Each structure stands twice: as structure tokens, then as C-alpha cells.
Structure 1
Amino acid sequence: MTVVLRLVLLGVLITVSSCSSLYFPPPPQAPLLTQKGEFSGGIHTNVSQNTALQGAYALSDHIGVQGSASFLRSDKKQSFFGSKKDRKYEEHDFGELGLGYFTRMRDQRVLEFYGGYGFGHGKRTETTEGVSQTFNGRLEKFYVQANFSKKESKTWHFFDRDWPVSYGMALRASYLQLHDFTIDGKPQPTEDNVFLEPISFTRITVLGPIQFQMISGSNFGLRHRKYLKAANSVFQLGIIVNLGGQEGRR
């Protein structure tokens, strides 16, 4: 349970300390497919109210497709210790489609590689001392990602029950562009950035194919940008379901 508390605290601290950006990264999807006909689906969210629905399907024994849709509506103070009248309203809608290769390795390990395209919209309105400013833009993304998980024999014991636990990691690299960018309706120069998102995940089997998942990681922007930067948390909590796959933890 100590690990869980540390991950939750880390997510809260990252969110509280983050600066504004028009991009809220959806959690990297790691379906860990193992054979033709397998389906993986899930729902994730975090304290920033960034919620994602994800799904993946194995077209063959080594080729898989994946897709996700994420949504955010947030109305909060601009800073944790600031005035309640200084507000920040944020909207973010984003979708991703990807195609990739997966394989089962020795000791029931799973390795996946995906590439894909993402698109969406970001909007933020900041109100300070009664004066509002609105930032608006269209988002477009190209990404590549690698996922890895291996069998673990460790179990957690609490509530008088053993809970099977598995671990994994993923690395996503994304090229993101901000199009049709305006401030208070006035056109602004476009921005782009390259993001690296290394994450680790822990999965706890709850019942049958249902697993609780915790994602913790970082988001690095390789270019210095003012409105398209790595400023929002990758931390997520969610539920995933894998149906039709091979036996063994992933």
C-alpha cells in the first residue's frame, strides 16, 4: 500500500505544481496483446479531470490496432494558494489511432511497437482581477511508442486476500503541432514541440480479466515553447479489461 500512496502523492504534486499548456497528454496505451482476436479496453482519469477511453484489438497473431479518446473540462483557481476569483477554465478533446506489432517473448514477456496519429482541440480561459484572456487552437500529433511487460510472481496481500500484481513500462515519442492558434480571437504564430513520455505502470488483478492500473511517469518537451509545453501530469488511475488473450500476467 505504501507504493500506491507514493504514486498518488506524486500525481497530486505534479498537478499542483504544473504550469499552463494547451496540451493534456492522454495516457500511453499498453494493451499488451498476445494473439489474434484479443481485445483490450480501459478507462483512465486523474486529478486534473483528464479522462481517457481506450481500446485495442489484435488483427492477427502479431498485428494490432488501437484507438483512444480523451476529454477534459476543468474550472479551478489559477494557483493553489491564489484568490478564488482568479480562475482558469480549460477544455481539451483529443483522439488517437495507431497500428503496431506485438510479440510474446520468453518467460511470458510481451513487447509491442505502435505508431499513430492524433488530433484534437485545446482551449483555455484565464481570468485575473476581472480581466479574461482566451487561448484557442487545433492540435495534431504523430507518435511512436514501445511497451514492455514481464511476468512477476509477487503478490500483494491485504483485505485478507492475495492480489496478483504485474509491472511494465512504455516510452512514447510525439511530434505535436498547434494550428489555427488565437488569443482572444486574434491569430498567433503556430507552435510545435517534440515530447518524450517515459512511464511505468502497475496492474492489480481485481476479478477475472479486470485489472486496476496505476500509471506514473514524466513528460519532457525537447523544444522551448510558451503555449505547447510539457506542463501537465501523465499520472493516471484506471480500469482495464483484456479478453481472449493467452494465459499469464502481462
Structure 2
Amino acid sequence: MLVLVRIVLLAFLPLLMGCSSLYFPPPPQAPLLTQKGEFSGGIHTNFSSNTALQGAYALSDHIGVLGSLSFLQADKKQSFFGSKANREYNEHNFGELGLGYFTRLKDQRVIEFYGGYGLGRTKRAESSAGLTTQTLEGNLEKYFFQVNYSKKESKTLHLFGRDFPMSYGAAMRASYVQLHDFTIDGQARESEDNIFFEPITFTRIQAVGPIQLQFISGSNFGLRHRKFLKAANSVFQLGIVVNLGGQEGRR
């Protein structure tokens, strides 16, 4: 039950955070592949309506490929405690592809290394009393490298008279992101870039068969000071993960 309380508290953190950045990071994918032919897929979302569809496939016993599509369309107040008349509309579409190496450790844990490329488009329109006051648009390009690791620790969640096995893991992602073809109210502006460090932890609860519920929480750090491309959006995500064709054992 304590785990559920923590999850609920984390879920409301994004509502209290500012969302002034034009970059909405998709959750780092941790398929935890174990052998050739294994498939991992999932869908994740958060309270900012940032939704991601993800998939990964093991091309061999140690080489895997992964991809994701994320999209967001949100119309909300410019600030949590601000006036309802001051609105902010965000539209963000992004895709990623990656290739990497995975291996199973002696204690049944899995470690993975992935590098990849992503691109997309972002838009933010601000309005007051129904009148648009500012529109920002641009294209995004991204290069990333990440390490995924599943911990040996495991627990059981007792809920509704049933025991649900739980496992834990972590992912550390570094991303170089460029905002180009950037305009404000149709006028060209200088491009921006930033380096983001996105460490996350995830908890997986075995639901039914290969279906697992996944809770992701983490941080997003921008290593450069930027006005429009900064670490201002949450990495928190709720999702469902399915692994098919893998080796037995916790991961």
C-alpha cells in the first residue's frame, strides 16, 4: 500500500510544474530483452497528455532495435494557480529509433546499451481571453545514448486478496537536442540546442500473463541555459508493457 501512496503523490507533481519548454521528453524505453526473437511493446502516458507508443525487437541474442512515437495535444491554463482565461495550447509529435546491445547477467538481471536518433515538431500557442498572444513553432532533432539496468530486488504487492510480483529497474539517458526552423509569430528566431540528462527508475507490477503495469518517475536536467529548450517537463509516466518470447526470470 505504501508503494501505491508514493505513486499517487508522484502522479500529481507534473500538475504543479511549469511547462514552458518546447521539448516534451518521451519516456526512455527499457525493453530488457533476453534472447533472439523477443518482442517488447508498451504504451505510456502522463497527466500532461504526453503519450508514447513503444516497441523493441531482439535481432539476435545480443543485438536489439527499438522505436517509439510520442504525441501530445493539450489545452490548459498557462500556470496551475493562474487565471482560466490565460490558456496554453501545446502540440508535440516526436519519433525515435535506436540500436543497441543487451545481455543477461548471472543473477538473472539484464543490462542494455542503446544509441539512437529522433526527430519531430513542436508548437505552443498562448492566448488570453480567447485571443492568441503568441505562437511558437519549430522542428526538433535528437541524438541519444542510454543504459538500462534491472535490479535484483523484488517485492510482492498484496491487493484485493491477490499477490502481484513487482520488479525494479533504472535507465540513464543522455540526449543532445536541437530546435531549428524556429519561429515566433511567424518570424524566424535563432535556433537553440541543449544537452539533457534523464535518469529514471521504473517499477513493474505483473498483472496477467506477459502484461505488466509500469510506473516511471525521474528527473530531467538541462546542462545548458536556454530560454525555450530547457528541462521543464516531467518524465513521470504510467503505462502497460508486454514482453513476448523472452527467457524466464525476473527483470
User: TM-score scaled to structure 2, two decimals?
Assistant: 0.97
Residue 247 (structure 2) aligns with: 246
Q: What number of residue pairs does the alignment pair up?
A: 250
Q: How does 1:127-138 map to 2 (within 5 A)?
A: 127-129=127-129, 130-138=131-139
AA partner of residue 120 (structure 1): G
Query: What residue ranges of structure 2 are gaps of 5+ in the alignment?
Result: none
AA partner of residue 124 (structure 2): R
How big is the shift at 1:131?
4.7
CA-to-partner distance for each residue in 1:11-70, whole Å, 9 max, x for gaps? 322342223111100000000000000000000000000000000000000000000000
1:72 maps onto 2:72 in alignment:
yes
CA contact (8 A) 1:107 1:150 kept: no
Q: Distance in 2 between matches of 1:101 and 1:31?
A: 12
Residue 94 (structure 1) aligns with: 94
How big is the shift at 1:153?
4.0
1:164 maps onto 2:158 in alignment:
no
Residue 107 of structure 2 aligns to a residue whose secondary structure is: helix
Residue 28 of structure 2 aligns to a residue whose secondary structure is: coil
AA partner of residue 40 (structure 2): S
Residue 43 (structure 1) aligns with: 43
Residue 23 (structure 1) aligns with: 23
Check 1:153–1:14 CA distance in 2 against 1; reply closer, same or farther (3 A cut). Answer: closer
Q: Distance in 1 between matches of 2:121 and 2:154?
A: 43
CA contact (8 A) 2:15 2:80 kept: no
CA-to-partner distance for each residue in 1:150-194, whole Å, 9 max, x for gaps? 333421111111100000000000000001000000000000000
CA contact (8 A) 1:98 1:117 kept: yes
Residue 217 (structure 1) aligns with: 218
Residue 141 (structure 2) aligns with: 140
Q: Distance in 1 between matches of 2:87 and 2:27?
A: 26
Q: Distance in 1 between matches of 2:133 and 2:220?
A: 29
Residue 181 (structure 2) aligns with: 180
Q: Distance in 2 between matches of 1:54 and 1:14?
A: 22
AA partner of residue 10 (structure 2): L
AA partner of residue 89 (structure 1): Y
Residue 107 of structure 1 aligns to a residue whose secondary structure is: coil
CA contact (8 A) 1:18 1:233 kept: no
User: TM-score scaled to structure 1, two decimals?
Assistant: 0.97
Query: What residue ranges of structure 1 are gaps of 5+ in the alignment?
Result: none
Check 1:7–1:76 CA distance in 2 against 1; reply closer, same or farther (3 A cut). Answer: same
Residue 110 (structure 1) aligns with: 110
Residue 153 of structure 2 aligns to a residue whose secondary structure is: coil
CA contact (8 A) 1:152 1:165 kept: no
Residue 126 (structure 1) aligns with: 126
CA contact (8 A) 1:201 1:213 kept: yes
Check 1:190–1:153 CA distance in 2 against 1; reply closer, same or farther (3 A cut). Answer: closer
AA partner of residue 140 (structure 1): E
